[in-house]
Structure 1
Amino acid sequence: MILSMTVLEGLAAGTIDLVFRRWSKQNVRPGDVLRLEAGVIEVDSVEIVDPATITDADALRSGADSANAVRGTLRGPADAPVYRIRLLYLGPDPRRALSAETELSEKDFEAIRDRLSKLDRRRPWTHETLRQIAGNPGRRAQELADLLGREKEPLKVDIRKLKNLGLTHSLEVGYRISPRGAAYLRLSRGTGRPGPAGPS
């Protein structure tokens, strides 16, 4: 589920706790946890509603000015159900603090290299992907996939693995390298230490 920066900031501030979506198929369920740039968010409840029953009070809780404004933002097939989704802000994403590290110890470097080597076990992809993200901030996933000669959806899954290690950030459009990721690449290049090992 994609959330705008306004909604993300409102969730973190405690001023927003609802979103409305028109979906042909339900995309989230109660208990789902979303790890986003603004923090960790849990889906508390999901219910189908008649859009005519959305109130101005609901609208304010979703960051909109009025119920009509909410109804005007609903996208998707007109006959698809509208979902009222209550979200809970659980706190900052620990990956954010991790990704902000600008200096890596020898131990940190080795730990990242070991993790990336495991991801590269079937085929090497991590180092080149990090380099392309570092050199092309804000590039869309499809553009990165074209540069890397890969399919878009599997690449997005792999980039999420790099994000889980604190090495990349997701932007509203595309990605960028994190300070931690930049530090890893700098050490890999600058000291002659090898990057992730390919399969033997």
Structure 2
Amino acid sequence: MDFHPVYVFFQRDSAGTMWRVLIRRPVLDAIAAGTVTCAFRRWDRPRVRVGGTQRTPVGVLEVTGVDPVDEADLTAEDARAAGFADLEALRRAQRGAGQLYRVGLRLAGPDPRVALREQRRLSRVDRAEIDARLARMDRASAHGPWTAAVLELIAQNPGVRAPDLAARMGRETLPFKRDVRKLKELGLTESLEVGYRLSPRGRAYRRGARG
């Protein structure tokens, strides 16, 4: 049985709907290495589009193709390209209803947030931009200003579970985690196997804010 964690590949379609493609970490690693170049999924209609990209733990993935296929036409080469041991394993994994699609995937490059969060020195322009983004988040929040409090909480409690951090703020876990992801987009935090910590950029920002 595969106990590896499952990561989620998100893609918005033209109507703005968010869909999910589940990709296990070993498969993500194989895509990054170039040994897996596609995935097979059954859908009532394509859920991703060619050219779509998404950040993942191994970097930015790009969809290179979305093609309907007949199960009877699958080959051993298809199985290898999708990371399966043999054709029968691929067919077993694709049992179910809906049209079968071959989704081409490749690693497009590194996650730009990785380089961003490693930034240890901030210019006045960098700091002003972060200030403005955080202020917009605070103004848009239905529960009031939160960015400074969450940064402080993570700074004081690295590696603490998200539900525990949320409880300390009297908040529900999922909305709290969504807020932390917004900070991650700015390169201020990074996820650990359990909990979070401030990135070098986040620490540099807080040092300047305290000063």
TM > 0.5 fold call: yes
**SS at 2:64 equivalent:** strand
Partner residue, 2:83: 63
Unaligned runs of 5+ in 2: 1-8, 10-21
Aligned CA-pair RMSD: 3.4
Quickly say closer, same or farther: Cα 1:117–1:19, change in 2 above 3 A: same
Query: Per-residue CA shift, 1:167-196, capped at 9, x if unaligned?
Result: 2335677655433223323443xxx34xxx
Residues 1:128 and 2:149 aligned together: yes
CA drift at 1:60: 1.9
CA drift at 1:86: 0.8
Tell me the distance in 1 between the aligned counterparts of 2:112 and 2:174. Answer: 25
Mapping of residues 51-130 of structure 1, within 5 Å: 51=71, 53-73=73-93, 78-122=96-140, 123-130=144-151
Partner residue, 2:15: none
Partner residue, 1:179: 200
Quickly say closer, same or farther: Cα 1:151–1:63, change in 2 above 3 A: same
CA drift at 1:11: 2.4
Aligned residues: 187
| Equivalent residue in structure 2 for 1:42, among 62, 85, 94 | 62
CA drift at 1:113: 2.2
CA contact (8 A) 1:32 1:42 kept: yes
Quickly say closer, same or farther: Cα 1:110–1:147, change in 2 above 3 A: same
CA contact (8 A) 1:21 1:84 kept: yes
CA contact (8 A) 1:32 1:43 kept: yes
Tell me the distance in 1 between the aligned counterparts of 2:135 and 2:112. Answer: 23
Partner residue, 2:185: 164
Tell me the distance in 1 between the aligned counterparts of 2:147 and 2:81. Answer: 41
Tell me the distance in 1 between the aligned counterparts of 2:167 and 2:102. Answer: 37
Q: State the TM-score, normalized to the length of structure 2.
A: 0.67
Query: Per-residue CA shift, 1:26-71, capped at 9, x if unaligned?
Result: 5422232112232222212223445554433222222332233334
Tell me the distance in 1 between the aligned counterparts of 2:44 and 2:196. Answer: 28
Partner residue, 1:198: none
**SS at 1:169 equivalent:** strand
Q: State the TM-score, normalized to the length of structure 1.
A: 0.70
Q: Which amino acid aligns with 2:204?
A: A
CA contact (8 A) 2:159 2:192 kept: no
Structure number with greater CO (CA < 8 Å, separation at least 6) is: 1
CA contact (8 A) 1:138 1:171 kept: no
Q: Which amino acid aligns with 1:7?
A: V
CA contact (8 A) 1:12 1:91 kept: no
Quickly say closer, same or farther: Cα 1:43–1:116, change in 2 above 3 A: same
Percent identity of the aligned residues? 44
Q: Which amino acid aligns with 1:97?
A: A
Quickly say closer, same or farther: Cα 1:116–1:26, change in 2 above 3 A: same
Deviates more, 1:117-126 or 1:101-110: 101-110
